[in-house]
Amino acid sequence: MSAPEEWFRDWFGETYLSLYPHRDEAEAEAAVRLFQREADLGPGARVLDLACGAGRHLARLREAGYAAVGMDLSAHLLQGAAERPGVAGSLVRGDMRLLPFRDGAFSGLVNFFTSFGYFSSAAEDALVVCEVRRVLEPGGSFLLDYMNAAWVVANLEPESEGVVNGKLVRQTRWIEDGQVIKRIEVFPGAEKDPLHDRAQVFHERVRLYELPELADVLGQHGLEVRAHFGDYKGGAFGEHSRRLLILGAAR
């Protein structure tokens, strides 16, 4: 039942885009506004949207006046991002464990919508943190948008089923080795036909970092935590917060 080591190579592709073509745009706008307010970067600042996906945050970063660049591993998601106005030409494909940018290339960096903790080992997550520090100039700001691990564990729904864009989607969730894992079965129609329907099977896996542990990993690799929030409006973080947003700077 364990997820494949590099599950993200399969999941963030054509099927993902067909099921979730329009994520919450208002949420993306609020997240970018929080970064604008707290990072205090001037117009034209170079900002990296790390794991930019289909570009909903990147488009708003560029609208806000930043010289923002989006990077993602998924060619399918980058194709979706390129269709957004003002985004084409600012996209790069790459692996966050080895960023294709020079040292100190950016004054700011954002990592939105729980796009951290995807790897099979904590050491690989630490590689990502090292790369974030490397491509940020000294004093450069970052915002890490992560989940509240305690809330996820307390509210884990073992199974759910629903119809998304005309397809039946069944999801199974469990905790294993400090990671939350989701098995996603996508059937070709809105109802399952056991004689003819063969589901596509995908996985998600994210490591469950509590705030002190995550702050320690960042600090060990040259990133100073300056504030943390529990929502995109900048509210206080607590046990009932669904999100954990960490703001900091490169030392």
**What is the structure's pLDDT at 60?**
97
What does the alpha-carbon distance between residue 129 and residue 30 come to, in Å, rounded to a whole number?
24
**What is the structure's pLDDT at 18?**
86
Does 3 reside within a domain? Answer: no
Q: Same structural domain for residues 110 and 155? A: no
Q: Same structural domain for residues 46 and 92? A: yes
**What is the structure's pLDDT at 20?**
82
Does 83 reside within a domain? Answer: yes
Q: Same structural domain for residues 125 and 243? A: yes
Q: Same structural domain for residues 107 and 160? A: no
Q: What is the pLDDT along the chain (251 residues), one digit of tens a residue?
A: 578 999 999 999 999 988 887 678 999 999 999 999 999 899 999 999 999 999 999 999 999 999 999 999 999 999 999 999 999 899 999 999 999 999 999 999 999 999 999 999 999 999 999 999 999 999 999 999 999 999 999 999 999 999 999 999 999 999 999 999 999 999 999 887 765 678 999 999 999 999 999 999 999 999 999 999 999 999 999 999 999 999 999 99
Output the domain CATH number for residue 144.
3.40.50.150
Structurally, the chain folds into a number of domains equal to 2
What does the alpha-carbon distance between residue 167 and residue 105 come to, in Å, rounded to a whole number?
43
Q: Same structural domain for residues 52 and 102? A: yes
Q: Give yes or no for a contact between 248 and 142, defined as CB atoms under 8 angstroms apart.
A: yes
Residue 96: closest CA among 58, 37, 48: 48
- Strand blocks (E) in 54-191: 67-72, 91-93, 106-111, 136-147, 159-164, 167-176, 179-186
Q: Same structural domain for residues 34 and 158? A: no
Domain range for residue 197? Answer: 151-207
Please state, as a whole number, how many other Cβ atoms lie within 10 Å of the Cβ of residue 106.
Answer: 26
Output the domain CATH number for residue 190.
2.20.25
Q: What is the pTM of this model?
A: 0.96
Does 72 reside within a domain? Answer: yes
